[in-house]
């Protein structure tokens, strides 16, 4: 059980700057939303407003349809795990986890049941009487997670809680949090700058830039159909190609030139003018090595860089017009490829995505 969160026309101004600008987003009950964006984009500020540590300068936040502007932090029923998840050093694991329950009216027996259950969930039942200093970093973090979950919150907020952990521990923790989310169905909003983490964990990804939302979509949509050049470059690798419109018919339908090859503009829902330029995105793995019989778009070029990364080769290919394409091919198809080789690259028109500037 979770809660539906809605942010309507949210602005946040500090003295000098407008750090959140007209944010509108709805997070469905049980969803796992991950907010991605560069440092300073406003991710933490957004979470703080949901939690109640900051008030919006404008707009409304609704939880299950109720405006929570006047609801104090401890009544919002939100669990939080932030990067500096400081545990109380002089308290045992058990006491740390009990802390949020002590501000709520609850019998000792009821508390113990809840604490035992949550410690079991984070696999720390054996550690209840230890002090934080007697635990590893990963274990300390699991205590912090238990503390965030022990009072059965409707919403869990995570602000880069994994940033300080090493890669292996981070991966393990990601899967653990994902599992907990699946079991509890708690509405979860997490912040990260790690794109792989976002794609692993989230049911929806939100990309932020300069205090505004660039795109909210499923991980697959975000990757396959990025809304803008920024989104395409922020997640995964991308060839972003500005393409001139070379002809427009009477209905306003345009054709564009992709490095000299003319195709209909991928977005046929809008009309074009003769001097328009359209940005397209092609993911490197959508480009294949082909022969003359290939029916899609074909570009010939020379391999200028060839990097072996195990399962794949990452190529930088210089086309005959002097431009470059990033290409990723499975090693098993192209193991003998090397710098200086002439290649023919094939791209299917369906794999070309038109994006906003």
Binding site for Mg ion (CB under 5 A): 43-44
- 3-state secondary structure at position 289: strand
Least gap, CB of 187 to ligand ADP (angstroms): 20
Q: Which of 34, 45, 174, 187 binds ligand ADP (CB under 6 A)?
A: 45
Instruction: Find which of ligand ADP, Mg ion, none residue 40 binds, CB within 5 to 8 Å per kind.
Output: ligand ADP
Q: Which stretch binds ligand ADP (CB under 6 A): 42-50, 78-86, 107-115, 147-155?
A: 42-50
CB of 330 to ligand ADP, least distance (A): 36
Window of 32-40, 226-234, 238-246, 261-269 that interacts with ligand ADP by CB under 6 A: 32-40
Q: How far apart are CA 176 and CA 122, in angstroms?
A: 8
User: Does 41 participate in binding ligand ADP (rule CB under 6 A)?
Assistant: yes
80 CB-near residues (< 8 Å, 6+ apart): 51, 148, 156, 157, 158, 159
Residue 43 interacts with ligand ADP (CB under 6 A)?
yes
User: Which residues, other chains included, contact 199 with Cβ-Cβ below 8 Å and sequence gap of 6+?
Assistant: 205, 219, 222, 223, 235
213 binds, among ligand ADP, Mg ion, none (CB under 5 to 8 A by kind): none
Which is closer to ligand ADP, CB of 41 or CB of 232?
A: 41
Cα gap 192→187, rounded to integer Å:
17
Q: Decide: is 190 part of the binding site for ligand ADP (CB under 6 A).
A: no
As measured in angstroms, the least distance from the Cβ of 44 to ligand ADP is: 3
CA angle at residue 72 from 183 to 180, to 5 degrees?
10
Q: Of 57 and 348, which has the nearer Cβ to ligand ADP?
A: 57
- Find the shortest distance in angstroms from Cβ 184 to ligand ADP: 25
Of positions 2, 3, 34, 42, contacts ligand ADP by CB under 6 A: 42
Q: b/e map of 106-129 (b: 16 or more CB within 10 Å)?
A: eeeeebeebbeebbebbebeebbe
Give 44 or 228: the residue with its C-beta nearer to Mg ion.
44
Determine phi and psi for 134, rounding to 5 degrees.
Answer: -90, 10
We find the least distance from the C-beta atom of residue 31 to ligand ADP, in angstroms, to be: 20
Q: How many degrees, rounded to 5, is the angle at CA 199 between CA 195 and CA 202?
A: 120
- Is residue 56 a contact point for ligand ADP (CB under 6 A)? no
Q: Is 226 in the site for ligand ADP (CB under 6 A)?
A: no
Q: How many Cα atoms are found within 13 Å in the side-chain-facing hemisphere of 218? A: 3
- β-sheet bridge partners, residue 239: 282
Q: How far is the CB of 47 from ligand ADP (least distance, A)?
A: 8
Cα 23 → chain centroid: 17
Q: Say if residue 357 is exposed, middle or buried (CB neighbours under 10 Å; 0-12, 13-18, 19+).
A: exposed
3-state helix, strand, coil in the chain (%, to 5): 30, 35, 35
Partner whose footprint covers residue 79, from Mg ion, ligand ADP, none (CB < 5 to 8 Å by kind): none
Smallest distance from ligand ADP to CB 65, Å: 26
Residues in contact with ligand ADP by the rule CB under 6 A: 14, 19, 37, 39-45
């Amino acid at each position: 059980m979770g809660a539906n969160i809605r942010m309507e026309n949210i602005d946040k101004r500090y003295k000098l700057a407008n750090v959140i600008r007209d944010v509108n987003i709805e997070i469905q009950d049980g969803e796992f939303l991950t907010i991605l964006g560069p440092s300073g984009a406003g991710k933490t500020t957004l979470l703080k407003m949901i939690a109640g540590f900051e008030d919006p300068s404008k707009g409304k936040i609704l939880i299950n349809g109720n405006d929570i502007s006047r609801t104090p932090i401890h009544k919002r029923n939100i669990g939080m795990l932030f990067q500096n998840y400081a545990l109380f050093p002089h308290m045992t694991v058990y006491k740390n986890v009990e802390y949020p329950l002590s501000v709520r009216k609850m019998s000792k027996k009821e508390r113990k049941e809840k604490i035992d259950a949550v410690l079991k969930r984070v696999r720390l039942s054996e550690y209840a009487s230890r002090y934080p200093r007697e635990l590893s970093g990963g274990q300390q973090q699991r205590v912090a997670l238990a503390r965030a979950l022990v009072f059965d919150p409707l919403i869990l907020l995570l602000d880069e809680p994994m940033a300080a952990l090493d890669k292996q521990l981070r991966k393990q923790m990601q899967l653990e949090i994902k599992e907990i989310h699946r079991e509890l169905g708690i509405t979860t909003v997490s912040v990260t700058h790690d794109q792989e983490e976002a794609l692993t964990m989230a049911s929806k990804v939100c990309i932020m830039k300069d205090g505004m939302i660039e795109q909210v979509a499923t991980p697959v949509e975000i990757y396959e159909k990025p809304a803008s050049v920024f989104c395409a470059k922020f997640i995964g690798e991308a060839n972003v190609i500005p393409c001139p419109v070379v002809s427009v018919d009477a209905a306003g339908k345009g054709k564009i030139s992709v490095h000299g090859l003319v195709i209909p503009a991928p977005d046929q829902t809008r009309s074009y003018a003769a001097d328009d330029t359209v940005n397209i995105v092609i993911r490197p793995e959508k480009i294949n090595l082909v022969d003359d019989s290939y029916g899609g778009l074909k570009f010939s070029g020379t391999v200028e860089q060839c990097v072996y990364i195990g399962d794949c080769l990452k190529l930088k290919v210089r086309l005959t017009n002097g431009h470059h394409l990033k290409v990723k091919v499975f090693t098993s198809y192209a193991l003998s490829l090397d710098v200086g080789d002439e290649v023919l690259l094939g791209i299917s028109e369906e794999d070309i995505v038109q994006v906003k500037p």
